[in-house]
């Protein structure tokens, strides 16, 4: 009966109706096919000048040239290192502080006004100061990513921990748990899946911060390549660099999801 209903037109367009994995993959691939088809149409059809938008074929050629002649793999590696370095530093600081803010309202009252203020400050605005303080080396780029990520993680983790079901807390107290035990055995385990999801989302934002950091005062990385390509009006290389960022982000997102699924299988049930 359920199979017959699924075969009806529009069945999977109903609100909140789950889609089978095979169909989900197919629809995702279909979007990329249509996107490339539209891109090919406007470029090969002569509707847009190659100076402003390279064709898919030209982009592939320029990308291959970057990889084989100009050592672009090294730029990719250094960018990945910067993202992971800054993001891990932010997580090490933000997750414990976020848990403390969510668990103890006095801690939240002390930190929340400043954290809420700081999270609205664009990380790119700190670049001139960070260059003065740390130069144009790796420390400056790691700090840009750190500043762009840490305050977001703190607040999101604090909200997650603060929304833990009260009946779980009361049941633990009834069973004789201490205050520290409530945090260790109730709040953290209950919030862990959502905290991991928060980290996955913020990792995507970290990629935007690293490119901004590499656009200014950098001699390596994907952002540096994009700036050099802009000076040469090489839109093929610029687009290739953007696509590489998207692909790396997509892979890291899937890996993060898979790790979360294995660590917290009950949250995906």
- CA 180 to mean position of chain CA atoms: 32
How large is the average pLDDT for residues 65-71? Answer: 89
Whether 1 shows a pLDDT value over 50: the answer reads: no
pLDDT at 174: 82
Three-state SS for 153?
helix
Q: In this structure, is residue 77 part of a structural domain?
A: yes
Q: Is the dihedral of CA 152, 154, 156, 159 positive or negative?
A: negative
Which CATH number characterizes residue 128's domain?
1.10.3720.10
Integer Cα distance of 215 and 235 in angstroms: 16
Task: Answer yes or no: is 164 within a domain.
Answer: yes
Helices and strands: H and E segment counts in the chain: 12, 0
Look at residue 258 and tell me if it is in a domain: yes
The SS3 assignment for 37 reads helix
* pLDDT (average), residues 161-181: 83
Q: In this predicted structure, what is the pLDDT of residue 177?
A: 78
- Whether the pLDDT of residue 62 is over 60: the answer is yes
Contact 153, 90 (CB under 8 A): yes
Number of structural domains (the chain) is: 1
Length of the chain: 269
For residue 120, the SS3 value is coil
The model's pLDDT over 126-148, given as tens digits with 9 standing for 90+, comes to 888 888 888 878 888 899 999 99
Angle at CA 69, nearest 5°, toward 63 and 73?
65
- Distance CA(243)–CA(249), nearest Å, equals 10
Percent of the chain with pLDDT over 90: 40
Taking alpha carbons only, the member of 162, 158, 134 closest to residue 147 is 134
The fraction of the chain above a pLDDT of 70, given in percent, is: 95
Is the pLDDT score of 239 beyond 80? yes
Predicted pLDDT of residue 161: 92
Q: Let me know if residue 16 belongs to a domain.
A: no
- 250 lies in some domain: yes
Assess if residue 113 is contained within a domain: yes
How far is the C-alpha of 200 from the C-alpha of 41, rounded, in Å?
Answer: 35
Judge whether residue 154 has pLDDT over 90. yes
29 in a structural domain:
no
pTM, rounded to two decimals: 0.84
Backbone angles phi, psi at 256, to 5 degrees: -60, -45
Roughly what angle, to the nearest 10 degrees, separates helices 56-69 and 21-44? 100
- pLDDT recorded at residue 268: 61
Tell me the C-alpha distance between 239 and 56, whole Å: 9
Q: Which residue has 């990719």 as its token pair?
A: 76
Q: In the prediction, which pLDDT does 60 show?
A: 93
Q: What was the pLDDT predicted at 171?
A: 82
Question: In the prediction, which pLDDT does 3 show?
Answer: 54
Position 10 pLDDT exceeds 80: no
pLDDT digit string, tens, across residues 96-129: 999 999 999 999 999 999 999 998 888 888 888 8
Q: DSSP of 180-240, one letter per residue?
A: HHHIIIIIHHHHHHHHHHHHHHHHHHHHHHHHHHHHSS-SSSHHHHHHHHHHTT-HHHHHH
Q: Is 10 within a domain?
A: no
Q: How confident is the model at residue 253 (pLDDT cuts 50, 70, 90)?
A: confident
- pLDDT digit string, tens, across residues 37-59: 999 999 998 888 888 899 999 99
Banded pLDDT at 269 (limits 50, 70, 90): low
Residue among 234, 72, 209 nearest 146 (CA): 209
- Full domain range(s) for residue 248: 67-268
Nearest CA-CA partner of 163 in 185, 184, 194: 194
More confident: 7 or 78:
78
């Amino acid at each position: 009966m359920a199979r017959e209903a699924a075969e009806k037109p529009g069945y999977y367009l109903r609100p909140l109706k789950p889609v089978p994995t095979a169909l989900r993959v197919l629809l995702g691939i279909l979007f990329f096919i249509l996107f490339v088809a539209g891109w090919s149409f406007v470029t090969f059809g002569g509707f847009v000048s190659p100076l402003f938008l390279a064709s898919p074929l030209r982009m592939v050629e320029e990308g291959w040239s970057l990889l084989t002649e100009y050592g672009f793999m090294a730029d990719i590696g250094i960018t990945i290192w910067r993202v992971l370095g800054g993001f891990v530093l932010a997580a090490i600081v933000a997750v414990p502080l976020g848990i403390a803010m969510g668990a103890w309202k006095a801690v939240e009252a002390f930190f929340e006004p400043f954290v809420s203020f700081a999270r609205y400050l664009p990380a790119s605005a700190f670049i001139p100061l960070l260059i003065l303080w740390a130069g144009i080396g790796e420390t400056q780029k790691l700090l840009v990513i750190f500043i762009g990520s840490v305050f977001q993680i703190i607040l999101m983790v604090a909200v997650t921990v603060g929304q833990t079901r009260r009946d779980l807390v009361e049941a633990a107290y009834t069973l004789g748990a201490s205050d520290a035990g409530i945090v260790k055995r109730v709040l953290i385990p209950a919030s862990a899946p959502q905290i991991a999801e928060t980290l996955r989302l913020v990792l995507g934002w970290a990629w935007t911060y690293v490119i901004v950091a590499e656009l200014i005062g950098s001699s390596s990385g994907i952002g540096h390549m994009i700036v050099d390509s802009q000076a040469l009006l090489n839109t093929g290389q610029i687009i290739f660099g953007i696509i590489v960022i998207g692909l790396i982000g997509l892979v890291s997102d899937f890996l993060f999801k898979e790790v979360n699924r294995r660590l917290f299988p009950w949250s995906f049930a």
